[in-house]
Amino acid sequence: MTMELTVRNVTFGDGVLICAPITAENENAICDDVKQIMNNPVDVIEWRCDYYAYCQNIDKITKTLGMIRNITDMPIIFTYRTRAEGGEENLIDADVITKTKYIDMIKKVADTGLADIIDVQTEYLGELAKDVINYAKKMNICVIASNHHFDITPENDEMSKIFARMNNAGADILKMAVMPMCEKDVIRFMDFTYDMVNTCNKPVVTMSMGKLGMITRIAGTLTGSAMTFASVTGASAPGQIPAHTMKTLLELTGANNIKKTCNIFLIGFMGCGKSTIAKSLLDKTGKKVIDSDSFIEQEENMTISEMFDMYGEEFFRKKETSFLENLDMNESCIIACGGGMAIRKENVKLMKSKGIVIMLDASCETIYDRVKDDDKRPLLKNNMNTEYIKQLMDTRIQHYVSAADYIVATDGKTPECIADEIVKHLNNLK
């Protein structure tokens, strides 16, 4: 599970952030670029200093960085990309940067406090990387450890070793960009990204470059990549998509804005469609689905009806509470709750502390129509009629309403329509 990192109220590891690069050569153009970026759906700005005409003049760099900061409150990434890893290096008054100059530049930029995040090429620095990263972090600057391959997609073993070195160097965010030679490279790299996201416990940013790898730039909701780079005034790498187009594509994936570490609890009376809606939400969000009743039945190796008959209802209710207590608040699941889950105050407190509670509402006639042929409802045993269902619903409805963060009427709606409504509501919470 990825640990989240918040920089200026922007959270890495919670959905897919959009970062736009500044690639202008002079101060006026750089300031114009910042203003244009601010009018686009962008979360983070990256200043590619290596495009700057005076990219090794620390006084001019500091002044320009200050100008950028005065224009925007957005998180700023400072990046000097060396030519060895695809950098532009538009030099007027200097030669290709040396490691000594590169390290000195990063430390002096960190000293200013004007950048929120600094990109450090850890493979380029080798054993020197850890010292540079530690220096920046002592200045309260976050660090992206980055690695770029403009000619190949390395084998997984090699990439794993690189990620391990970036992680061990102490960086806050781990980034890798590769160039695919074939479709299999793209698929392999997406699968590799997913593994790294679930291994490194830090935000991971990856992209496969060029037209062939373009799909990876919009696939963060599947792979877990925390940020994608999109162009506003100019692209800094092959395959970057315009920011407005990127925003639309991310929204079309369905889950980009839903908090990844947010559990969704579906509550409501038996037969209101919790299990069915959970499956529709799975298709739209990719979140794992847990049916609390089924989970408890598997744990106890008996049906709910058997638990009621052998141990009584109170035994089962305690099992529901135990289920919630043991649920990881960061696991990010859709939980289809049993009909009585929201009756206990301690259950409601646990659900609200670990996620968002959605009530599915349905009429007693709709409920009856859905459960009339189900003989696995112990509370309706010998009472399968609309009158009794209404009586039981009346005793519970206020508990459901009080527990819910949002209520969805389900009568006459398809599961897909209901799931869309829930996703839309959750997106609006951001």
How many other CB atoms sit within 10 Å of the CB of residue 399? Answer: 19
- Contacting residues for 42 by C-beta, under 8 A, at least 6 apart: 18, 19, 20, 74, 230, 232, 243
DSSP string, 312-354: -HHHHHHHHHHHHHTS-TTS-EEEE--TTGGGSHHHHHHHHHH
* Residue carrying structure tokens 């599915």: 360
3-state class (DSSP) for residue 79: strand
Which of 19, 384, 382 has the alpha carbon at shortest distance from 173? 19
Helices (H) and strands (E) counted in the chain, each on its own, are: 17, 16
284: left (phi over 0), alpha (psi -120 to 50) or beta: alpha
Edge-first strand order for the sheet with 204-208 is 204-208, 173-178, 142-148, 117-121, 76-79, 44-48, 17-22, 227-231, 241-242
The one catalytic residue in 175, 287, 319, 354 is 175
* Residue carrying structure tokens 């598997």: 298
- Contacting residues for 213 by C-beta, under 8 A, at least 6 apart: 178, 179, 180, 185, 186, 189, 207, 239
The one catalytic residue in 63, 101, 107, 148 is 148
CA 47 distance to own-chain centroid: 23
Tokens of 418: 């209901």
Active site residue 175: yes
Dist CA 273 CA 141 (whole Å): 48
Active site residue 425: no
Tokens of 85: 């890893």
Which active-site residues does the annotation give? Answer: 148, 175
